[in-house]
Structure 1
């Protein structure tokens, strides 16, 4: 099975599982009207819909066109950027929405007690599924030697969804233990805001890290993947040894496309360059299928 096939198979599984979670989430939200649940199931719905887009991108990203002779791999980090931006917007808008409701209670005494009972078992189940799906996508990504930007994005998204579910379950359990007529009884009316805020703050880190990594790929920055750099450099040195003098080796990663720019001294025989290039690709391609070698004069 090729790395692209592994990627597409994993995205199909993610799409189906996320859709099931989203339907279940909206059903529980319709019963409880807890905004933290809306945030949780919205994540699942976004993940399911975005998986469909990711599937299409996975199908066409390696196709070469007249205007893009290296392929359409830039669509992969571009997808990740849009997905993470949408995630961040959803996180912040959920905090703002619940903050408005909490302000209404503190300022005007207007509010409705949260319906906690159906939340806890549902969120525990969702937490298990999300972390399981995150582990599945992470393990599938490793089968591509972590070259799949799409699977890395999905894995991080599933992990965030799991954190949200865990946060809602724990918070709901704590609120359930609080006497509504006691000193902390206000949490039965405003707990939605505190739950949402508490689970959003640590969740922000993941989409921001994915955004930075994807933006670096899209803008043509050198890869920071140390395992990729170590593996490629090892093969380059091995095949150049005794034939050419290596001055510098730059490695770029755009989606699943790996571009290796090898800088060597002038006046090197063209036939030798082609032979060395074939040998390097022979070593690299079993690990990173979509690799390209470019020799440049130093």
Structure 2
């Protein structure tokens, strides 16, 4: 199956599931007024909107224009960059908001006890949906040799969303064991802040990782995936055997587009030069079997 089709099918599933998760989170937030649930719900709605954008990009990034004759594959890592930044901003804003609530309680003794009634069944359902969707997107991306920057970003986002839901659930269970009139009773008023603080701390790594990966891809750095590099290397070893060791193979990836540049380390080896020239179409065909959108350049 075409890799783009697999990517689009996965994104369609993500759109539907993220919409359900996001609406559910906001409804529970309205009932409970827990900022941690606002974080959870808004995060899912951002995932829903970004999934729609990713679906649009997946359908159009291969299109060529006068300005972009090789296609608009840069949109795929750009998506990863923007989604990561939006995630980081959401985490920071939610932490600041809950910090203000905790400050008001500790300094001015102002605040309301947390309402937690419907939270636990909600979090259980959300954890199942989020981790299930994350596993699905990861498995779909693996089918296409982890070529999709967007599915990688989606999968990491799904896991963060599931982690947030799981954290809220665990905290609510723990809070139910605390006497509101006991020495830890303040947690009924400020627990939202502490829950959010822990969630932000454990969630920061993934968007930062995606941001770094996507930025390097957007800037046209060499490929960061060992699987892709090994696949290309195997093709050249398959055709050239030990002579492939005389080549410097550079691989550049931007979205689903792969560019392979070959530089001969021993340009005085005229036999190798002739072999490469005569087999260029064979290399191109073998690469096309592994990657839907690719180009090949030789430097003699």
Question: Per-residue deviation at 1:268?
Answer: 7.4
The number of aligned residues is 297
1:251 aligns with 2:231: no
Distance 1:223 1:162 in 2: 29
1:293 aligns with 2:296: yes
Question: Per-residue deviation at 1:247?
Answer: 3.3
* Deviation sequence 1:66-110 (CA, Å, 0-9, x none): 222221111000011000000000001100000000000000000
Distance 2:241 2:144 in 1: 28
Give the superposed CA RMSD.
1.8
* Deviation sequence 1:171-221 (CA, Å, 0-9, x none): 011011100000000000000000001011111000100010000101111
- TM-score by length of structure 1 reads 0.95
Question: 2:280 aligns to what?
Answer: 277
CA gap 1:242/1:167 in 2 versus in 1, 3 angstroms? closer
Question: 1:68 aligns to what?
Answer: 68
1:79 aligns with 2:79: yes
Question: Per-residue deviation at 1:286?
Answer: 2.4
Contact 2:237–2:244 (CA under 8 A) maintained in structure 1: no
Question: Per-residue deviation at 1:282?
Answer: 2.4
Distance 1:200 1:155 in 2: 18
Contact 2:36–2:196 (CA under 8 A) maintained in structure 1: yes
Contact 2:236–2:244 (CA under 8 A) maintained in structure 1: no
Question: Per-residue deviation at 1:145?
Answer: 1.1
Contact 1:251–1:259 (CA under 8 A) maintained in structure 2: yes
Distance 2:235 2:211 in 1: 30
CA gap 1:64/1:271 in 2 versus in 1, 3 angstroms? farther
Distance 1:242 1:200 in 2: 50
Question: 1:104 aligns to what?
Answer: 104
Task: Please list, as runs of the form range in 1=range in 2, the aligned pairs for 1:20-169 lying within 5 A after superposition.
Answer: 20-169=20-169
Question: Per-residue deviation at 1:290?
Answer: 1.5
CA gap 1:273/1:176 in 2 versus in 1, 3 angstroms? same
Question: Per-residue deviation at 1:3?
Answer: 0.4
- Structure 2: segments with no counterpart, 5+ residues: none
Distance 1:262 1:60 in 2: 29
